[in-house]
Every structure is written in C-alpha cells, then in structure tokens.
Amino acid sequence: MLTRKQLELLELIDTCMKRDGVPPSFDEMKDALNLRSKSGIHRLITALEERGFIRRLAHRARAIEVIRMPDKAVGHDTTGSRSAPRVIEGGRAATATAAPRVQALELPVMGRIAAGTPIEAISEVSHMVAVPGSMLSGQGQHYALEVRGDSMIDAGINDGDIVVIREQTTADNGDIVVALVDGQEATLKRFRRMRGMIALEAANPAYETRILRDDQVQVQGRLVGLIRSY
C-alpha cells in the first residue's frame, strides 16, 4: 500500500518517462509534490524502491526505472494518511504494526520546531498524535513537535519527524532540548554548559554551534522519543 505522496511521485516519474524519456529532476519532484526540501523526495524514492515499484540505476544521472505501477484491485492509500509509523525510543526502532499491543496516549502537536534556522516560538496546538505510553516515562507533562530542518540528522532526527518532549526547565550536558532563545525563537539542539555560557549544538557539520549567555536561553523540554512516518 502506498501513501498519497508516494503514489503522486510514482505517477509523476511514470508520466515523465513516457513523455520525455527521462525521469524528473529532484527539484522538479520537490516542486510538483509541494515539499520544502529534497530530503523528503529521497525518502519517498527509497520507499518506492524498497516496495519494488522503481529501480535506481547506478552510475547514471537521473536514472530511475519504473518497474510496476500499483494494482488498483489491491488498492492503495489515497486518503492522505501515512503508512505505519516507526516509533524510535531509546535508540531502538520498531514498526508499530508489528509491535506488541501497548497502551497509546494522545499528545498535542504544538506546531513545528526548527532543527535548522530557529523559528518563532510555538504556542498553539495543531493536531493530536498517538504515542506509546511507555515513551512517557517520568514526571511532568509531555507534548509533541514536528521537526523542520536538517541540523539534527546525525542524531537520527530528520525533517518531518515528530519529536516527543517532556516539559522541564533544566537540562544536563548532552541532552537534546527545546530551547527558547531571547524569548522569541524555538529550536531543537543539544544542550551544553561551557565556561558560564550555553552552547546549542547541531548534529550536522553544516551548522555552527551557537554560544549564548545563560539569560538568553530557556529550556522548555527534553527529547524523550521520536515518531517517524514513511
């Protein structure tokens, strides 16, 4: 079963191959599917390849071959819902549909958090998401945020992921936190204290560590889990 975005991309590639003899470029795919970054296209192509709908040919530019199209008799997901999410907890990943039945709780998704250039502080609930109760260990309230940007990719946090945050105002060195900077911008970064200052470290060498005064940074929560959909 394909998600709507996967199906849209497959149909776009098939149409361009029949019309032009070559698949669309990644930029053309991104624009056609109204995605913000090419990383989303990479994930969709990987998913289509894993499911046996396309094949990427090595050592050739823009070399994608459509192997088959979905069987309409079997059906595919055109409702916009995503395929089964993978819940990543404590460094382990398990497909939700294959996992033992566990208690699920709904958390508010408080908009988007920047894993890249900081965005405005988050204050409104956009929707709800179900998470395993085992992820919500410890005291305190929890909420979820949708990640935007790629500054934490080396920590396994990708653009479009949902991060589960436990509300707290303190953090230990090495914690990944939601930090409010100057009371205006929220960002997801690794927290460290350095010589009386606070460092907000990215997990991507393309981004510089931000060194700020203690009074410029307010910790609003710590990362306790992550949910990824394909």
Q: Is residue 124 part of a domain?
A: yes
Q: Percentage of the chain with pLDDT > 90?
A: 20
Q: Which residue from 167, 208, 164, 212 is spatially nearest to 192, judged by alpha carbons?
A: 212
Please report the pLDDT score of residue 85 as a whole number: 46
Q: Is residue 39 part of a domain?
A: yes
Same domain, 58 and 131: no
Same domain, 144 and 187: yes
Same domain, 19 and 104: no
Domain housing 44: 4-66
pTM of the predicted model over 0.75: no
3-state SS, one letter per residue, for 161-215:
CEEEEECCCCCCCCCEEEEEECCCEEEEEEEEEECCEEEEECCCCCCCCEEEEHH
Between CA 189 and CA 115 the distance in angstroms is: 7
Same domain, 37 and 136: no
Domain boundary among 66, 100, 116: 66
Active site annotation includes 39: no
Catalytic residue among 83, 134, 151, 229: 151
Catalytic residue among 18, 126, 134, 189: 189
Domain boundary among 36, 66, 96: 66
Active site annotation includes 137: no
Between CA 183 and CA 196 the distance in angstroms is: 20
Q: Which long-range contacts (CB under 8 A, 24 or more apart) does 133-139 make?
A: 133/102, 133/103, 133/104, 133/105, 134/89, 134/102, 134/103, 135/87, 135/89, 135/164, 135/224, 135/225, 136/105, 136/107, 136/164, 136/166, 136/224, 137/224, 138/166, 138/224
| CATH number of the domain bearing residue 44 | 1.10.10.10
Please report the pLDDT score of residue 131 as a whole number: 77
Same domain, 115 and 213: yes
Q: Is residue 51 part of a domain?
A: yes
Q: Which residue from 10, 156, 149 is spatially nearest to 77, judged by alpha carbons?
A: 10
Same domain, 50 and 106: no
Please determine, for residue 89, whether its predicted confidence score (pLDDT) is greater than 50: no
Same domain, 121 and 181: yes
Q: Is residue 40 part of a domain?
A: yes
pLDDT in tens, 155-205: 999 888 889 888 889 999 999 999 988 887 889 999 999 888 999 999 999
Q: Is residue 30 part of a domain?
A: yes
CB within 8 Å of 61: residues ≥ 6 apart: none
- Domain count within the chain: 2
Same domain, 170 and 212: yes
| CATH number of the domain bearing residue 195 | 2.10.109.10
Q: Is residue 31 part of a domain?
A: yes
Same domain, 101 and 177: yes
Same domain, 160 and 102: yes
Same domain, 27 and 118: no
Q: Is residue 201 part of a domain?
A: yes
pLDDT in tens, 109-154: 777 777 655 444 455 666 777 777 777 766 678 888 888 888 999 9
Same domain, 115 and 40: no
43-55 mean pLDDT = 82
Q: Is residue 75 part of a domain?
A: no
